[in-house]
Copies of this chain bind each other. A is one copy, B any other.
Amino acid sequence: MLAVGDSASRTKLVTQDDIDAFARISGDENPAHSDNEWSRASRFAGPIAHGILSAGLVSAVIGMDLPGPGTIYVSQTLEFTAPVRPGDEVTATVTVLELQPRRRVLLETVAEAGGQVVLRGEAVVIPPREA
């Protein structure tokens, strides 16, 4: 049984290859995410990862670990608080905040890189019956 305070994390090194692959899949090929002149002249002084790529790491913790396979993803809020750059190790952490009616579970979802929060939000999920 899930309990309030249960937590799981995953860490991933985000590479320019990951960013390029995400750009191809999503179609978000805007130059902020490419290692090119445009991104080096931008306010971030180099390429940054798509915010939604960090959200994918949160999705990985939910789908693989807590609650894990069979979970239904109901909703997610995302606040993008700092950029992720190629070479950053990003740690996504999911923590049970509340057990709600109709088998819903409220999760805190945070991603950090280099000691800085890059993404924060909350998710609602329906865990599999056995979780």
Contact = CB atoms under 8 A, between A and B. Distances in A.
Interface of A: 10, 12, 18, 21-22, 24-33, 38, 42, 50-53, 55-60, 62-64, 68-70, 73-80
B21 A64 contact: no
Q: What 4 pairs between A and B have smallest CB-CB spacing?
A: A26-B56, A28-B60, A30-B63, A27-B60
In this complex, which of A21, A55, A59, A73 has the most chain B Cβ atoms within 10 angstroms of its Cβ? A59
29 contacts: A10-B27, A12-B27, A18-B25, A21-B21, A21-B24, A21-B25, A25-B56, A26-B53, A27-B57, A28-B62, A28-B64, A30-B63, A30-B69, A32-B69, A32-B70, A33-B63, A38-B69, A50-B59, A51-B73, A52-B52, A52-B58, A55-B55, A73-B80, A74-B80, A75-B78, A75-B79, A76-B78, A76-B80, A77-B78
A12 B26 CA distance: 8
Contacts of A51: 59, 73, 76
Contacts of A70: 32, 42
